A and B are shown apart, each in its own frame.
Chain A
Amino acid sequence: MSDDHVYLTLAEGHEDDARWAYGTGFEDPLHGVDTTVPEGIDAGELAALCVALADDALVSAQRLAEWITRAPELEEEVALANIGLDLLGQARLLYSRAGQVDGTGRDEDAYAYFRDAGDFRNVRLAELPNADFAFSIARLLMLSSWRLAHFERLASHPDPVLAAIAAKGVKELAYHRQYAAEWAVRLGDGTEESHRRMRRAQEQVAPYLGELFTAYDVRDEVVAVLRQVTEAAGLPMPVYRPLPGSGRDGEHTEHLAPLLAELQGVARAHPEATW
């Protein structure tokens, strides 16, 4: 490779945005897809489902981003970023779909940046602070096990756009669950300290399991996965006693508002700006 090659490329004008990148020139993520809502589908329900799933993904991606430069090892920086990016990608597609079907024509950023905490429909599990690595793993295991089971069902949803988003997501979520399960086992089996932390983390997330099951009956499947991993990790099964209320109804912990303040601050300070 010649020394000058890259300089020349860089010094050129870049009128053609399409060659720039990852995500750039990505104005309409559903470009070329037939976006009409099939007959017999309630558009309001479909939009609400997309927003709830997008909110889970966005809030989770935000928490994963907080790990960056704080992870226990470089490989974990890369893996957690990878999972965060997958979820961010899912959120973008789902918000775009919601904007098409709810009649408002809103874009992904309108949902992410210009709604308040009470309008978010994510489960509370997603918004809890990261705490330690064990907690983040226990949360990821629970969320990805549920989301994978749910997306596998959604892949045959009568809305072809949601079905396509879910089918793409299944492959990503299978990796997220695998990653979380492997770490849960390492931590459960590893040292006394890691065992204690992983056990406590499982107990801390347990009350948030019930909130996940609103559509499709995936409870048995999810609990079976959690049991298998928990046993492999040499940990006791926690008691899944649900908390009252639900993030799906806009009832959140005190942790969501500050998370959104950070996420939305720059965008809201410059509402006329384009980025």
Chain B
Amino acid sequence: MTTSLSAEAPPPGHLQEHFDATISRDQRIEPRDWMPDGYRKTLVRQIAQHAHSEIIGMQPEGEWITKAPSLRRKAILFAKVQDEAGHGLYLYSAAETLGADRADLTDRLIEGRQKYSSIFNYPTMSFADVGVIGWFVDGAAICNQVPLCRSSYGPYARAMVRICKEESFHQRQGYELLMTMMRGTEAQREMVQDAVNRWWWPSLMMFGPPDDSSPNSAQSMAWKIKRHSNDELRQRFVDMTVPQADKLGVTLPDPDLRWNAERGHHDFGTPDWDELMRVIKGGGPCNDQRMQRRRSAHEEGAWVREAATAHAAKQAARAEKGAVA
């Protein structure tokens, strides 16, 4: 990627100062602005991982579109999974403003060179999982992403505004499904509690490792790519979710969870960080399955993409021939 450096451009020292000043004034960096290579690389990595997470994240819930137990729930879930594909598209576009290429990023995902959120490596066991994913996973995503609406990189921040609005909608839909199920049969209430038990700890892990072992965080905070630390966001999610769980009538599976009046926050137990590392490294229950699905969709679709490219080239050639004649 070349930035818009021209013969008249001020020397790099000047550029760095201008960049630093823009960041410190809380103004946005735009695609044509000069930016340090590290900033660009960090953003491409983060936005690509986010895009991959949206796309892989279609799988656990997508399994239930064909099985949804009412037509209304089928429509809601179908639309939600479609939104996730849309989010993936905006985010890949935001990464492309930094000089990345969607096809290349897709290859990196498929070859395992770039990651996606570890949460999507857990299985969806019942329809209650659809509700709990909406409530916890979209809820945690919102906690992570709302601050990114003020991220220093303009296209990313703007994409996040739209994505957060839709995620917030999804979270309410998930919670509303659970409310309805809790008012239903005993079997439905058991399904909800079981899903809560399985998804709670993996959801807390979505905020990443604890602050004292999160190596990239400090630089990202300084660049205002990231606005809050992992532990702050995790705390916020817990504080937000506890009253919602009470209202729903489910128990969060943490014996150490209690209100701490002194801190003004809930205390809670420690997630199993070894499990997080295992899942990140590919050892989660569904890592292979998720990657296999993405890879086979990509490979089986290759002839379709090639056909579209070939057709476009033939069309262009015919148009040129027509114009000459």
Which residues of A are at the interface with B, using a C-beta cutoff of 8 A?
1, 3, 5-7, 9-11, 13-14, 17, 20-24, 26, 58, 61-62, 65-66, 68-78, 81-82, 84-85, 88-89, 91-92, 95, 108-109, 112-113, 132-133, 185-187, 189-191, 193-194, 197, 262-263, 265-267, 270, 272-275
* Cβ-defined contact, B311 with A189, below 8 A: yes
* B69-77, B193-201, B249-257: which lies at the interface: B69-77
The CA-CA distance from A186 to B297 in the complex, in Å, is 19
B315, chain A: closest CB distance, angstroms: 8
Query: Within 8 Å of chain A (Cβ to Cβ): is B50?
Result: no
Query: Within 8 Å of chain A (Cβ to Cβ): is B236?
Result: yes
* Cβ-defined contact, B127 with A78, below 8 A: no
A24-B72, A69-B58, A275-B68 given. 15 additional CB < 8 A pairs? A3-B227, A6-B142, A6-B146, A7-B142, A20-B176, A21-B173, A21-B176, A61-B78, A75-B89, A85-B78, A133-B304, A186-B311, A190-B307, A190-B311, A275-B177
* Cβ-defined contact, B73 with A275, below 8 A: yes
From A10, A73, A75, A265, contact of B240 by CB (8 A): A10
The digit string for B72-90, where 1 denotes a CB below 8 A from any CB of A, is: 1111101101100110110
* Cβ-defined contact, B88 with A74, below 8 A: yes
Query: Which B residue sits closest to A62, measured CB to CB?
Result: B66
* Cβ-defined contact, A262 with B67, below 8 A: yes
Q: Which of B92-128 contact A (CB under 8 A)?
A: 92, 127
Query: Which B residue sits closest to A72, measured CB to CB?
Result: B301
Which residues of B are at the interface with A, using a C-beta cutoff of 8 A?
55, 58-59, 62, 65-76, 78-79, 81-82, 85-86, 88-89, 92, 127, 139, 142-143, 146-147, 149-150, 161, 164, 168-169, 171-173, 175-177, 180-181, 183-185, 187-188, 227, 236, 240, 243-244, 247, 293-294, 296-297, 300-311, 314
Chain A residues with CB under 8 A of B62: 68-69
From B86, B146, B183, B293, contact of A3 by CB (8 A): B146
Chain A residues with CB under 8 A of B306: 190-191, 193-194
Chain B residues with CB under 8 A of A113: 69-70
Residue of B67, B139, B176 with most partner-chain A CB within 10 A: B67
Q: A-B pairs with the 3 shortest C-beta distances? A: A72-B301, A190-B307, A194-B307
Chain B residues with CB under 8 A of A1: 146, 149-150, 161
* Cβ-defined contact, A92 with B185, below 8 A: no
Chain A residues with CB under 8 A of B85: 74, 77-78, 81
Chain A residues with CB under 8 A of B68: 266, 275
Chain A residues with CB under 8 A of B187: 270, 273
Chain B residues with CB under 8 A of A270: 69, 184-185, 187-188
Pairs A–B under 8 Å by Cβ, sample size 26: A6-B164, A7-B142, A11-B240, A21-B176, A26-B72, A68-B58, A68-B62, A69-B59, A69-B293, A69-B294, A69-B297, A72-B301, A73-B305, A81-B82, A88-B74, A92-B72, A186-B311, A190-B310, A191-B307, A262-B66, A265-B67, A266-B127, A273-B181, A275-B68, A275-B177, A275-B180
The CA-CA distance from A197 to B240 in the complex, in Å, is 53
* Cβ-defined contact, A14 with B172, below 8 A: yes
The CA-CA distance from A275 to B127 in the complex, in Å, is 10
* Cβ-defined contact, B58 with A77, below 8 A: yes
Query: Which B residue sits closest to A70, measured CB to CB?
Result: B297
The CA-CA distance from A159 to B55 in the complex, in Å, is 43
Chain B residues with CB under 8 A of A85: 75, 78-79, 82
Chain B residues with CB under 8 A of A78: 82, 85-86, 89
From A88, A92, A186, contact of B307 by CB (8 A): A186
The CA-CA distance from A267 to B177 in the complex, in Å, is 14
The CA-CA distance from A76 to B146 in the complex, in Å, is 28
From A14, A21, A84, A133, contact of B78 by CB (8 A): A84
Chain A interface, >50% SS class: helix
Contacts known (A9-B168, A88-B74, A191-B310); A24 close to B184, Cβ less than 8 A: no
* Cβ-defined contact, B172 with A20, below 8 A: yes
Contacts known (A270-B187, A273-B69); A3 close to B244, Cβ less than 8 A: no
* Cβ-defined contact, A263 with B139, below 8 A: no
B305, chain A: closest CB distance, angstroms: 6
The CA-CA distance from A131 to B145 in the complex, in Å, is 38
Chain A residues with CB under 8 A of B139: 10
* Cβ-defined contact, A65 with B65, below 8 A: yes
Residue of A3, A14, A71, A132 with most partner-chain B CB within 10 A: A3
* Cβ-defined contact, B70 with A263, below 8 A: no
* Cβ-defined contact, B247 with A13, below 8 A: yes
* Cβ-defined contact, A3 with B304, below 8 A: no
* Cβ-defined contact, B58 with A272, below 8 A: no
* Cβ-defined contact, B236 with A7, below 8 A: yes
Chain A residues with CB under 8 A of B67: 262-263, 265-266
Query: Which A residue sits closest to B84, measured CB to CB?
Result: A77
* Cβ-defined contact, B70 with A109, below 8 A: yes
Chain B residues with CB under 8 A of A11: 240, 243-244
The CA-CA distance from A195 to B173 in the complex, in Å, is 43
